[in-house]
Structures are given as structure tokens and as C-alpha cells.
Amino acid sequence: MKRKIVHIDDEKCTGCGLCVTPCAEGAIEIVNGKARVLREELCDGAGVCLNVCPTGALTIEEREAPAFDPAAAAANLAAKRNKGEAPRCVRCGAGEGEAVLLFARHRGESTWVCTRCLPVLIHG
Ligand code: SF4
């Protein structure tokens, strides 16, 4: 099927890894120093990762790709959770089972913050 999915420009990618954490589905991995979407069915094409890339290597394109598989994405997220790699709030440590998590930039880092802690991070 033709759908929207992340495209990674190899020429621009430095392999910094900043795009890995924002991808809750775990679709992006660093392989041999470059970001890769190894399992396209895990990429929902939402583009949360785009804004963290310092080199503009990430874009959304429309092309032939396997359909997004929510069950596979949930299973991958569960596996990340079991390994302690699932997103957690940078301030209180809440996981997505305990609070709504939003992707954010905080003190120069790409991270997650829950909706309870977001006002504190904004207003102090
Ligand atoms: S954030 Fe950009 S430069 Fe860094 S690994 Fe991801 S695609 Fe590559």
C-alpha cells in the first residue's frame, strides 16, 4: 500500500541517535552509524521524530510500504518496557500506563514529560 512513512537521508544523518527515543514504537534504530527504519510496519508516519533531528535528515514521504501494524508496535513497546527502555517522564518517572506522555526538548535533550509535570517544567 502507498502511505506516509519516515524517510532518512543517509547523506545528512550523522548517527547521533536523537531520533531513537522520540519514536515510542521503536521503529528507528542506529545501525552502522546511521538511523534506519528496520521494520517499516512499526512506523506510523506521525513524524514525532522529525523535529529532533539537528541535520534535517528526517522527512515524511508517501511511498509503498507495509501498513502500520498497531499490534506489532504495541508488542515492540512492551518489549522495550520490559527492558526498561520504554518512555518515562523526565521529571516524575511515570510511564505511559500511569500518565499521558508528550515528547519534549528539555535542557537540550530529547525526552518525554507527562501532562502533570509539563506545567512545572514550563513555569518552574
Ligand atoms: S536525529 Fe537525524 S542525524 Fe541523528 S540519528 Fe536521527 S536521522 Fe540521523
Specify the ligand 1 atom closest to the Cα of 17.
5
The predicted-structure confidence for 35-67, as pLDDT tens digits, reads as follows 999 899 999 998 888 888 989 999 999 999 999
Ligand 1 centroid–CA 50 distance in Å is 9
pLDDT string in tens for the chain (124-residue length): 999 999 999 999 999 988 887 787 889 999 999 999 989 999 999 888 888 898 999 999 999 999 999 999 989 888 877 887 778 898 999 987 899 988 888 887 778 899 999 999 889 8
Most ligand 1 atoms within 8 A of CB, residue of 8, 9, 12, 13 to mutate: 13
Is the Cβ atom of 77 under 6 angstroms away from ligand 1?
no
- Going from the N-terminus, what domains does the chain have, and what CATH number goes with each? 1-86 (3.30.70.20), 87-124 (no CATH)
Picking from 108, 107, 104, the residue whose alpha carbon sits closest to that of residue 117 is: 104
Is the Cβ atom of 17 under 6 angstroms away from ligand 1?
yes
Ligand 1 centroid–CA 46 distance in Å is 16
